[in-house]
Amino acid sequence: MKLISFLILFSSLFTTVSSIESGKKLLYKDATYEDEIRTVQLYPITGNNASMLQPAVAQIGRMNLVLEFDDLVQDPEDYRVKIIHCNQDWTKSRLSSIDYLYDFNEFNINNDQASADTKVSYIHYNFRLPQVKLPGNYLLVAYRGTNENDIILSKRFMVYSNQVSIELTSTLNGLTSSNRSQQQLDFKINYKNYELINPLENVNVTIRKNERWDNAINNLKPSFVRDGLFELEYRFFNFENSFAAGNEYRFFDMRSLRNPGQGVYTVDWNTYPITVKLMSDLPRIYQAYSHLEDINGDFYITNLDAGGGSIYSDYVNTQFNLKTDKPIAGEVYVVGKMNNWEQNTESRMQYNPQVGSYSTDMILKQGWYNYKYEVKNDTLDVNYLEGNHFQAENNYEIFVYYRPLNMRADLLIAYGYYEMNPTP
């Protein structure tokens, strides 16, 4: 049914959409609001080939973030961007745009390219984000024409200052937690060079694992306030700062459709779009930990058939399959950064008792992908099909927010990026 629905969708790509979409409600998170908007990426330009795998975080005064996305139509449209300052809990702050922007809050997306030699036509867009005046959480909102309600996508990004410093007090080898299925970060904040008024109330810390906001630890308060040393200590014993360790991510290599890579079973060129069937997976809950150098649930777009370039990568119908002896109690989803970790209709897998397998389809762009299977159930762990291993390599970020007395918003006054169990 999903493939049929997709074909119906694509049959309309050659017509001009004249009516404005209605009923779109802005979500203060990473989201798309039309099926044609795909492969949204926001990342820093660092000159490194792996820059698109970095989080959407920039230092104040050094804004180097770029937005990329595709619109699965044949002709370019007039898209614009606005930027919203948010508090630490991702609610809109009380600041006006003149408080945090140097320019009028309406930016044209002028860089667009049509896809080349692809079965599925699309327009690829590129936009360099403007400088901002204040550190904090921000929401980028792209919309059609001059109608700010005709939203096509929203994307979170963060801008930080180095007003205070973060110092880890635990190791990064995954052994700090007393629970062998957990990982935790112990740390302290030094504010000797920056005055914090009533830090116990006005400072909030967020810890994020592998760039996921859906299971981030928010509003973390210090376990100890050492006024004489100008330190806030975050060291807990009841797992307040702990995450389920998880496992290394599964992956598949779709960089070439003519010479399929690892994880790809078959490629069917006779369908529209091209159909890629992945190798069948098995649950890993009872398997011993095995190190695999992954990209922590992320993905990157490239094409080996046409020499790289985002506009040469095609969109394909990607089929996931998970074999189990019997149905799992609860719902099974396939998630990754490719779908913003969303447990929704597209990512939910259906069980076929005749073949003993869960399956679902996703429309994805050629590239290299990480993914995992999650279970939604009141009694089973979300990582029931993957397992939790303290040895797993994961990326963690610490965000320190502070609201000064004369400010109507939370500021991001420190940021730290750490790799648990880094590869030697």
Domains of the chain: 22-160 (2.60.40), 165-245+391-420 (2.60.40), 250-376 (2.60.40)
How many CB atoms are closer than 10 A to CB 286?
Answer: 6
Least Cα distance to 157 among 415, 403, 420 occurs for 415
Query: What CA–CA distance (Å, rounded) separates 308 from 201?
Result: 50
Helix (H) or strand (E) holding 4: helix 2-11
The pLDDT assigned to 22 comes to: 52
Residue entry with tokens 């017509």: 15
Block mean pLDDT (10 aa), the chain, length 424: 43 38 85 97 89 96 97 97 98 97 97 96 98 98 97 98 95 76 94 94 97 96 93 90 95 96 98 98 93 94 86 97 95 98 96 97 97 95 96 97 94 97 84
* 392 touches 248 (CB < 8 A): yes
pLDDT, tens digit, 9 for 90 and up, residues 338-386: 999 999 999 999 999 999 999 999 999 999 999 999 999 999 999 999 9
Q: What is the Cα–Cα distance from 386 to 393, expressed in whole angstroms?
A: 14
Query: Which run of H or of E encompasses 11?
Result: helix 2-11
C-alpha closest to that of 207 among 415, 6, 413: 415
Q: Are 278 and 268 in contact (CB under 8 A)?
A: no
Strand, coil or helix: 304:
coil
pLDDT for 173: 80
What pLDDT is attached to residue 49? 74
For residue 178, the model assigns a pLDDT of: 66
pTM of the model: 0.92
Distance CA 23, CA 269 (A): 37
DSSP 76: -
Q: According to DSSP H, which parts of 54-153 are helical?
A: 97-100
Which pLDDT belongs to residue 309? 77
By three-state DSSP, how is residue 209 classified? strand
